[in-house]
Amino acid sequence: MPVLSDKIIQIQLKTKSPKMEPIPKQPTPFQAAPPRPAPSAGGTQIPQTIPPERVIIQSKDFSFYYGSRPGVEKITLDIEAGSVTAIIGPSGCGKSTFLRCINRMNDLIPRTHAEGLLAVGGQDVYDKQTNLVNLRQQVGMVFQRPNPFAKSIYDNIAYGPRLQGIRRRSQLDAIVEQCLKDAALWNEVKDDLSKSALALSGGQQQRLCIARTLANKPKVILMDEPCSALDPLATFRIEELIAALKGAYTIVIVTHNMQQAARISDRTAFFCLGKLIEYNRTDVLFTNPSRKETEDYITGRFG
Amino acid sequence: MKTKLRQIQNSGFTFVCTSSVWLLTAALLLFLLPMLVKGSQAVFFQRTVEFDKMQKKLFKRGDEKTLQTLITETEAARRPALALLDQFSRGIDIAPLQKTARAAYQQYGRHLRYRGVSGELYTQRRNLARRLRDDFLQAVQETDKSRAQALLDNIDSQRSNPDFRQTPMEALFSLSERYRQILQEIDLTQRARYAAELDLVKTEMRNLLGPLPSEPEPPLPQERFGAARWDIAQKHLHNLLYQTQWVPAGDGSKQLIARQIRRDDPAEGIFAGTALAPLFPMMEQNLPAMLKPRPTVYWQYFFDDSTAGHYFGGAGPEILGTLLLTVLSMILAVPIGVLSAAYLVEYASDGIINRIIRTCINTLAGVPSIVYGLFGLAFFVLLTGKPCILSASMTLALLVLPVIIRASEEAIRAVPRSYKEASLSLGAGKFRTFLSVTLPAAGPGILTGIILSLSRAAGETAPILFAGAVALGPVPKIGLKPDWLFQPTRALSYGCYDITVGDRMAMLVPHNQFGMALTLILLVILLNITAILLRWRMSKKLQGL
Amino acid sequence: MAAASNQKDPAAAQFSRPLRLSFRDDMRSTLAAFLVRAFLLAVTACSVLAVLLIFIFVIRQAAPFFTEPGVSAVGRLKEFLISPRWFPEHPAAPEYGALAIIVGSLYVTLTSLLIAVPTGLLAAVFLSDIASFSVRQICKPIIEILAAIPSVAYGVFAVMLVAPWLQQHLGFSTGTNALNASLILSIMAMPTIISVAEDALSAVGRDIREASYGLGATRAETMLRVVIPAAHSGILAAVILGMMRAVGETMVVWMASGNAAQIPSPWWDLSQSVRTMTATIAGELGEVPKETAHFHSLFAVGLLLLVFTFCLNLVSEYLMAQMKRIAGR
């Protein structure tokens, strides 16, 4: 069944856009069921513990409160540079809250505060002296619902570079083309870049949002359930894209879809009720969870 | 049974609710339709040759040659009627004769001084001339024919006096000759009876055809032309044909009602049987030929200046003034309003300061417009030194400020948070995000608010009553030098008021009263429809998202 | 925290732009944020300033009326509020009794509300509960246009068309009277009443309606017994806002009410001319010389008007807040 659907999707893709460039071959077999060994980036085995020089995001006893209610509590985990890390958990468990803390997106919500340490590249993001502009430029974010600006495709992607002061048209053109190619959207939109971004389909919009993030040349991309509003075909395209981006970017993805986490991530963190229950290599977490709650959740016996 | 009753109650309730909306719609139509019909007559009407003359003279508009042909044609049609009137009024209306006699005497005095005649001789000749003049003045007033003849003979006896030969006094002699002839024709006893009515007839003739041929150019522009519009011509024609008599409504009744009697009515008409009687049917039949009514679209109504009291011309300066006032008030109010809204949405927390600010904005929205007028007079006029465009605009700006703040706040609040998040996650600062993402997304909403407050500012009268609106005044000349800011201006809203209750002259031109009100209504409705359409498109766009 | 920033992590080197603000940047951004905030606050404070200035300047011009040398302030105030004799232009003994014009204002306002409140409320019920979506889409612009028509245009309508009609068909001695002004005012107050009352009715949630319908009530019963009582504070706010609109209206009452400073007697005789506070200000301020008692007395009338609407405003704000609380519950 999974194999069959895989084929169908391939066929559909071919019929839909025959001129599409071949997607770079990635070791991303399309399998649905969890236990399976996680694919390793570049073929090397993922180490159980991350060597300190490869830690890009470090969280230590980090808590975040909405008013007096904790959104996440005492989170301690490290994220490796260049890897894909998935955060799973039941809804309301604080996984999105944690993700949004990494680039301080929660600032928009009034009456919130953070405790403990959450460092990106060695800089505590909740420190007063954090350069928020640089942080958010280099820790990009893709949201649950695609949220392109009501501007043209071109202007959407050029938004970040323009903020950084790039004004030369040729330079912007190059960035736009490169980012759209990286986000596997170029072939679909190259003929009318001046079209409104709102006219694209949901999946295309989400890839545009990823391309928009890429245009900022981030080190880390945070993805907050990027596929939840999309159909399976579009989800497949996004997952392919994530696999292609791995290595060059550190990706942290929040998902409610365990299969997706298993398919694409190197490491997985399981959150429940605002707490980090378990954090391990994906293959280990899904085959051999060390905590009862994790096992209950991934086998579907969760309350 | 109970159920039935409840159903009846329910459908009755529905009916009453529905009919109240119908009532409202009916009220709107009842208001709009008459205004539309009557107001459109300011632009769509039948113009007469007098209209063309007025346009040529006051606005330098129209083709000289066609106008000349028109004038020749109409003059030909008018000639018999005017001749009739002139003939009849020669005996009745003695004012022109008296005037000429007085003028001759005065000129003679000047003539003597010019010739260097002085001293005894001067006094003697002058006294003689005065005696002749007085004789003539008495002769024309004399109701007894023979006594008048005697006085005229008296004058004639001096005709051969060499002192008067080749002097202005010769005019007096020829005048006396002419009056001698008139004297043969007319019945002097009727003079008193006809004089007052003839005056009315002459006024109406002037209203219809412009100044009579023998008269000099009147000083007021509204008297220089006859009826420029066919509807007005007909009104004057009616006044010409009928005399109004107030009679008791019934036997012993104190209430009087008006009765219209034709002036040439054989039984009761005052001019029945006189030489003037043929004038009335002549005017009735030949008026189209005298005035040449043609349908016209006077679109220049929206640009033309007007003569005093809006008797002729359009509402151009009023429209210009309204536009100036509203645009200027927007320039003052929009930045403050939008920035205030930005602060209220993006920065304000639920503190006491925020509560005070909100209460103040609500208060500002509730202050009666006339109190704004008082404040404008007590404060802004103090700032500018005198009532002027600037002080009026500032008053209006204050008036629309709460409208703009509320509309902008709502629009900014309606921008989805995901927009802001997208921008922030790309590394834009808070202010940058507001300028480049939130503001453009809220733009249509803010624009809607601005258009609505434009219409509000255009329609308000009370705030500008004392702060810079005038009924009559020069048209502001907009230029780089800000002098025009410190002049008062006419405005549509104030013009509407003034022309309806303030100006006696305007009562004669109802089409202008309605026309100006309609212009204001259309301006406001146009702005509102733009806002409604804009909002409609916006909601469609949001639904499409 | 200190440990994290001191950590020598090679991964940190990957970030091309420093994540930590330099001291200068920190100061600059803090300062910029503060300045932007202060600037916006200052701009927003313009509204507060405007309200203060309005009160200060109207009071400043009204004060000489009460402190005029030779008259006692209390006596002036008493005359102002109790005497119905408004003869400020009398050369020898001017009288400043504002009672007649205060009564005139309330008179036309209340009579107009007598028409506007029932009609407006029923129309609001229609829009919120009876009309289909498409009918509402048509009705809303109609009401908006009704609200947008300038008062002076209504005034022209009242003088030129309503007044002659009243005179001819109802046999009034003058067409510009209390009835004329009230009729037009009710049309002007209605859009306000409708839109606020509709908001109030919509704020009462669908669940309450469904509960009532679920118990077998008809629409009339649901509206009259459940929804309207639940929305009473919002509806009251609607009435008060409509009243503010009517009391503050100038041009229509000036043009249509006949401007006779008298208390109608008998009190129900709508065919008599009355004069309101707004019309008095509008009609007389343009003619009086500055710095005279008459001039200042008009500002006193304005002050009375201002205080009155201010109080109404506070009440309506309180009611609106209550409405929001009910809706939020």
What is the average pLDDT across C124-138?
87
- Tokens coding B120: 């005894």
Instruction: State the pairing for strand pair A220-224/A250-254.
Output: parallel
pLDDT higher than 60, residue A27: no
Q: In this predicted structure, what is the pLDDT of residue B542?
A: 60
B336 CB within 8 Å of a chain C CB: yes
Q: In this predicted structure, what is the pLDDT of residue C3?
A: 39
Taking only the tens place, the pLDDT of each residue in B65-89 is 888 888 888 888 888 888 888 777 7
Taking only the tens place, the pLDDT of each residue in B15-32 is 999 999 898 889 889 899
Torsion of CA C260, C264, C270, C271, to 10 degrees: -50
Chain A closest-CA separation from residue C103 CA (Å): 50
Q: In this predicted structure, what is the pLDDT of residue B334?
A: 92
Beta bridge partner(s), residue C20? A130
DSSP run (H or E) holding B525: helix B510-544
Highest mean pLDDT among A20-24, A95-99, B121-125, B216-220: A95-99
Q: In this predicted structure, what is the pLDDT of residue C112?
A: 92
C68 pLDDT band, cuts 50/70/90, is confident
pLDDT higher than 60, residue A1: no
pLDDT higher than 80, residue B505: no
B442 pLDDT band, cuts 50/70/90, is confident
What is the residue-averaged pLDDT of chain A? 79
What does each C-alpha distance from A143 to A213, B138, B426, B489 come to in angstroms?
11, 107, 12, 56
Q: In this predicted structure, what is the pLDDT of residue A292?
A: 86
Chain B closest-CA separation from residue C4 CA (Å): 23
Q: In this predicted structure, what is the pLDDT of residue C324?
A: 79
DSSP run (H or E) holding C164: helix C163-169
Q: In this predicted structure, what is the pLDDT of residue B405?
A: 93
Which of B:482-521 have CB within 8 Å of C? 493-494, 496-497, 500-501, 510, 513-514, 517, 520-521
B402 pLDDT band, cuts 50/70/90, is very high
pLDDT higher than 60, residue B386: yes
Least confident of B126-130, B365-369, B528-532: B126-130
What is the average pLDDT across B355-382?
89
Nearest to A149 among B419, B425, B427 (CB): B419
Give Cα A156 distance to the centre of its chain. 19
Least confident of B15-19, B238-242, C325-329: C325-329
Q: CB C15 to CB A219 under 8 A?
A: yes
Q: In this predicted structure, what is the pLDDT of residue A38?
A: 44
pLDDT higher than 90, residue B434: no
Cβ contacts from A onto B, under 8 A: 66
Taking only the tens place, the pLDDT of each residue in A281-296 is 888 888 888 888 888 8
Residues of A in contact with B441 (CB under 8 A): 149-150
Nearest to B513 among C150, C160, C190 (CB): C160
pLDDT higher than 60, residue C188: yes
What is the residue-averaged pLDDT of chain B? 83
Q: In this predicted structure, what is the pLDDT of residue A35?
A: 37
Q: What are phi and psi of B354, to 5 degrees?
A: -60, -40
Q: CB B426 to CB A108 under 8 A?
A: no
* 3-class secondary structure, B45: strand
End-to-end CA distance of chain A: 28
Residue B380 CB contacts under 8 Å (≥ 6 apart), including other chains: B390, B391, B394, B395, B467
What is the average pLDDT across A218-244?
86
Could you tell me which chains touch chain A, where touching means 3 or more CB pairs under 8 A?
B, C
B371 CB within 8 Å of a chain C CB: yes
- Tokens coding C191: 């859009």
pLDDT higher than 70, residue C14: no
Q: What are phi and psi of B259, to 5 degrees?
A: -125, 130
Give Cα C162 distance to the centre of its chain. 25
How many residues are listed for chain C in this entry? 329
Residues of A in contact with C27 (CB under 8 A): none
Residues of B in contact with C194 (CB under 8 A): 24
d(CA C194, CA C122): 8
Whether C313 and B360 have beta carbons less than 8 Å apart is answered as no
d(CA B302, CA B373): 27
DSSP run (H or E) holding B513: helix B510-544
Q: CB C20 to CB A53 under 8 A?
A: no
DSSP run (H or E) holding C95: strand C95-96
d(CA A240, CA A183): 10
What is the residue-averaged pLDDT of chain C? 83
Taking only the tens place, the pLDDT of each residue in B249-300 is 766 667 777 778 887 777 777 777 677 777 888 888 888 888 888 888 888 8
What is the average pLDDT across B230-240?
85
Candidates B507, B496, B365, B28; CA nearest to C184 is B28
Nearest to B427 among A110, A145, A163 (CB): A163
Q: Which amino acid is at C96?
A: Y
What is the average pLDDT across B476-502?
82
Q: CB A52 to CB C19 under 8 A?
A: no
Whether B527 and B458 have beta carbons less than 8 Å apart is answered as yes
Q: Is A71 or A9 the better-scoring residue by pLDDT?
A: A71
Cis check for the bond before B440: say yes or no (omega within 30 of 0). Answer: no
d(CA A193, CA A155): 9
pLDDT higher than 50, residue B94: yes
Alpha-helical segments (H) within B389-483: 389-413, 417-425, 430-433, 439-459
Residues of C in contact with B353 (CB under 8 A): 41
d(CA B21, CA B10): 17
Q: What are phi and psi of C231, to 5 degrees?
A: -95, 15
* Side-by-side strand order, sheet with A267-272: A139-142, A220-224, A250-254, A84-88, A267-272, A275-281
d(CA B497, CA B470): 11
Q: In this predicted structure, what is the pLDDT of residue B190?
A: 67
Chain C closest-CA separation from residue A6 CA (Å): 37
Nearest CA in chain B to A157: B426
DSSP string, B208-233: HHSS-TTSPPPSSGGGSS---BHHHH
pLDDT higher than 60, residue B415: yes
* 3-class secondary structure, B258: strand
Residues of C in contact with A54 (CB under 8 A): 10-11
* 3-class secondary structure, B146: helix
Taking only the tens place, the pLDDT of each residue in A77-136 is 888 888 899 999 888 888 888 988 888 888 777 788 888 888 888 888 888 878 888 888
Nearest to C48 among B356, B455, B458 (CB): B356
Which of B:427-486 have CB within 8 Å of A? 427-429, 432, 436-437, 440-441
- Tokens coding A21: 């460039």
Q: In this predicted structure, what is the pLDDT of residue C186?
A: 92
What is the average pLDDT across A183-201?
85
pLDDT higher than 90, residue C113: yes
Tell me whether 0.90 is exceeded by the ipTM: no
Could you tell me which chains touch chain C, where touching means 3 or more CB pairs under 8 A?
A, B
Nearest CA in chain A to C20: A130
Whether B532 and C146 have beta carbons less than 8 Å apart is answered as no
Torsion of CA B342, B345, B348, B350, to 10 degrees: 160
Q: Is B538 or C3 the better-scoring residue by pLDDT?
A: B538
If DSSP states are collapsed to H, E and C, what string results for chain A? CHHHHHHHHHHHHHHHCCCCCCCCCCCCCCCCCCCCCCCCHHHCCCCCCCCHHHEEEEEEEEEEEECCEEEEEEEEEEEECCCEEEEECCCCCCHHHHHHHHCCHHHHCCCEEEEEEEEECCEECCCCCECHHHHHHHEEEECCCCCCCCCEHHHHHHHHHHHCCCCCHHHHHHHHHHHHHHCCCHHHHCCCCCCEHHHCCHHHHHHHHHHHHHCCCCCEEEEECCCCCCCHHHHHHHHHHHHHHECCEEEEEECCCHHHHHHHCCEEEEEECCEEEEEEEHHHHHHCCCCHHHHHHHCCCCC
Whether C127 and C140 have beta carbons less than 8 Å apart is answered as yes
B400 pLDDT band, cuts 50/70/90, is very high
Which of A:165-184 have CB within 8 Å of B? none
Candidates A130, A112, A128; CA nearest to A120 is A130
Instruction: State the pairing for strand pair A69-80/A84-88.
Output: unpaired
